[in-house]
Every structure is written in structure tokens, then in C-alpha cells.
Amino acid sequence: MRALKHNVSIGILVLAPSIIAIAIFVYGFIAWTVRVSFSNWNSFTALLRGVYKFVGFRNYIRLFRDFRFQTDLWNTLFFTLFFLAGAILLGLLLAALIDRGLKGSRIFQNIFLFPMALSFVVTGTVWSWIFAPGTLPMDPQGVNLLLHKLGLDKLMWGWYTSTQHFGRFNVALLPVIIAAVWQLSGYTMAMYLAGLRGIPSSLIEAAKVDGATDFQIFWKVKMPLLKPITLSAMIILGHISLKIFDLVFSMTGSGPNFVTDVPAIYMFELTFRSNRYAMGSAIAIVMLVMVAVVIVPYLIGSLRKES
């Protein structure tokens, strides 16, 4: 029950600026972007002229036939899959290790979490140097240099400049995925730790009395209780991954033959480098739809849970 029954109008008045701002800046602007994506505004002069010409789905059709955009979508798919798997498994493992409460756990926890405080741009800058391949085979750099010093020359490869692919999976994405896992697995760890600490100790005591080992307790008692956390983590990280921009932009850019390109980078280049606003807007709307598919059910779910 809410306490202030008699202050409804004043409450709504207080909210009004925020509601109006969100209505314009989120929903109004999205509608505007949709409108642009159905137009022929694909040059600066067309924009200046300001005459709106409706072209239907032409920009979208062109986009889905475009090799670069197709590559972007595949890259997003594989990036999301591997990044989610990596960040969730590593986060869970780290949480399980920290949760044992060994001496010094606190320090380790802080080490695992600090990348969350950094900008994606900083992460991209550092990892782009670590994974820079150098000129192979004579002038290795970064990780390749380490491999060379260890006598593992055979393992040197082009990292994010490699154009190798398995089916539609560009292996150049791996270094970017590693950087993203580095940055965000501390986040999943924190989520799991919060979950683990919420498990009543009586439950664990009971399992111990029944003779369960630590390992069994973790898998049979704790894991099932962590399922909702895994779901939240997948949704939060998944939507970050679908719209990833800063990290890729600062670390690798599009890469040779678009091996590390993602929709956000293509959108940025179309809109701000080549003035193809309608095409850029179409990409933005595709990205929005992808994110909405993940987020809207989640939001509706938490709305229902509350009421």
C-alpha cells in the first residue's frame, strides 16, 4: 500500500517533466528514427532539402542484401554466444571460488570486479595492444611475442586481424570476446555472489547432515537456486552484446573484410561518415528490435511479479 493517497495530482506533476522527457527522447525519437529509415535521406543534400519521400522497406531490403550487414549480424550472433558463455561460466566459477571464504577472498573479488569501473574505450585501447599481432613471422608483437619467447611460434596467429573463419564464424572475434569477458565477468560474479549469499544456511546445513560433499552441495543445492540469476545475467549481458560499440570501435574497428564489424559500427559510419541517414536509421531500428525481443519480456515479467 502506498502512503500518499491524497497527493496524487502533485505526485504526477512532479513526475511530469521526466515522463515528458522520456516520451520525447525515447519514444518520440524512436518514432522519428523509424520515419527516417523509411525515407530516401541518403545524402546530405537530400536531408537539407528536407522533402520527405517515403520509400517503404527499401533501405531495409538493401541492408539485408548487403554483405557487410550480413557479416555484422553473424558477428553479433557469434560474439553474443561466446561472450555470454564465457562471462557466465567464468563469473560462476569465480563466485564459487570466492564463496568458499578463503583468506584473501576479498582482495581477489576486488581484482575480478575492477574492470567494471573502466570505460570500454580504455579496455579496447589496452587489449588492442596486447593482441596486436605484429608482422609475422619476423616481428611478433603482444601475445605473439610471448608465444615466440616461449618457443611456441606455431601458435602465433593474426588475432583480430585474421581473416580465417569457420563457416560464418570469424575467428578474429575471439580477442574481442576475451576483452569483453575480461571486462564483464566480474559483473556476473557479483550477481552470483549476491545470490549465493542469499541462500539460507539452514539449507546447506541440512544437506551436510545428509552427508553431501561440498561439490554436491554446490551442484545439487546451490545451482538450482541460482537459475534466475543466470537468466538475468543472460539478459543483461545479452543486450549489452547486441548493441556493443565502444569496445569494438576502440579495439579493432571493422577489421579486414569486416571480420570484427558489428551493426553499431556500420550504423555509425553510415550516419556520421557517409551521410546515409536513412540506411543508418534502418540499422538502428534493427538493433532496437533485437534488444527489445530480449528486454521486453523481461520487463513485463518483472512488472507482473510486482503487482
Partner 1 sequence: MKKGSTIVSYILLFIFAMFFLTPIYVLVATSFKPLKEIGISDMWKLPKQPSLEGLVKAFKKLGPNLKNSFYLTIPATIISSFLGSINGYVFSKVRFKGANLIFTIILFGMFIPYQSVLFPLIRFLQKINLYGTIPGLILVHVVYGIPITSLIFRNYYSEVPDELVEASQIDGAGFFGTYARILLPLSIPAFVVVVIWQFTNIWNEFLFAVTVTSNPAKQPITVALVNLAGSQVIEWNVQMAGAIITALPTLTVYVLLGRYFIRGLLAGSIKG
Least distance from partner 1 to the Cβ atom of residue 257, Å: 21
Binds partner 1 by CB under 8 A, chosen from 40, 70, 230, 232: 232
* Cα separation, 41 vs 279, whole angstroms: 8
Per CB under 8 A, which region of 56-64, 132-140, 159-167, 203-211 contacts partner 1? 132-140
Which of 78, 187, 218, 258 is the binder for partner 1 (CB under 8 A)?
A: 187
Among 235, 296, 285, CA closest to 263: 285
Beta carbon of residue 169, minimum distance to partner 1 (angstroms, whole number)? 23
Residue 83, interface with partner 1 (CB under 8 A)? no
State whether the Cα torsion 22-23-27-32 is positive or negative: negative
| Alpha-carbon span 224 to 298, nearest angstrom | 20
Q: Counting contacts by CB under 8 A, is residue 176 touching partner 1? A: no
- Does residue 243 touch partner 1 according to CB under 8 A? yes
Cβ–Cβ < 8 Å for 195, 279: no
Exposure b/e, 214-247, CB count within 10 A at least 16 = b? eeebbeebbeeebeebbeebbbbbbbbbbbbeeb
Told to check if 64 binds partner 1 by CB under 8 A, we report: no
Name the DSSP letter for residue 215: H
Considering only residues 20 through 49, tell me which ones interact with partner 1, judged by CB under 8 A.
21-22, 25-26, 28-30, 32-33, 36
As measured in angstroms, the least distance from the Cβ of 74 to partner 1 is: 18
272 conformational bin, left if phi > 0, alpha if psi -120 to 50, beta if neither? alpha
Does position 203 interact with partner 1 (CB under 8 A)? The reply is no
Confirm or reject binding of residue 291 to partner 1 (CB under 8 A).
Answer: yes
The nearest distance, CB 258 to partner 1, in angstroms, is 18
Instruction: Give the C-alpha separation, 99 to 170, whole Å.
Output: 36
Q: Among residue numbers 153 through 172, which ones bind partner 1 (CB under 8 A)?
A: none
